[in-house]
Amino acid sequence: MTPKTLIIYIKLLFIFLLYLSCKGNDKNNSEPLLSSLKMTPSDSIFPKLAESYINSKKNKIEYFFNKNWPSKNNNISFLVAKDGQIIYENYSGFGDVRKKTPITSETPIHIASVSKVLTATVILKLINAGKIELDQKATSILKGFPYPEVTIKNLLSHRSGMRNYAYFTDDRKIWDNHKIMSNQDILNVMINKKIGLESKTNTRFQYCNTNYAMLALIIEKVAGKSYPEAMKSMIFEPLGMKHTFVFDYKKDKNVITPSYRLGGMQIAFDFLDAIYGDKNIFSTPQDLLLFDMAINSKYFLTRELRSQIYQGYSNEHKGQKNYGLGIRMIKFETGQNFYFHNGWWHGNMSSYVTLKKENVTIIALTNKSMKSVYNIRKLAPLFGDYPFKLEEELEE
* Share above pLDDT 90 across residues of the chain, in percent, rounded to a whole number: 83
pLDDT, mean over the chain: 91
| pLDDT at residue 15 is higher than 60 | no
For the question of whether the overall pTM of this predicted structure is more than 0.75, the answer is yes
| pLDDT at residue 4 is higher than 80 | no
For residues 350 and 111, the answer to whether their CB atoms sit within 8 Å is: yes
For residue 374, the model assigns a pLDDT of: 97
Query: What's the whole-number mean pLDDT along residues 56-66?
Result: 96
Q: What is the 3-state secondary structure (H, E, C) of 315-330?
A: CCCCCCEEECCCCEEE
Helix (H) and strand (E) counts for the chain? 12, 12
Beta strands (DSSP E) in the chain are 76-82, 85-92, 94-96, 101-102, 109-110, 245-246, 281-283, 321-323, 328-331, 337-345, 348-355, 360-366
Query: What's the whole-number mean pLDDT along residues 35-41?
Result: 85
For residue 23, the model assigns a pLDDT of: 46
* Share above pLDDT 70 across residues of the chain, in percent, rounded to a whole number: 90
CATH superfamily of 36-42+49-394: DD-peptidase/beta-lactamase superfamily (3.40.710.10)
Query: What's the whole-number mean pLDDT along residues 375-382?
Result: 96
Among 69-73, 84-88, 304-308, 353-357, the minimum mean pLDDT is found in 69-73
More confident residue, 308 or 72: 308
Residue 356 CB neighbour total at 10 angstroms: 14
More confident residue, 79 or 31: 79
For residue 319, the model assigns a pLDDT of: 85
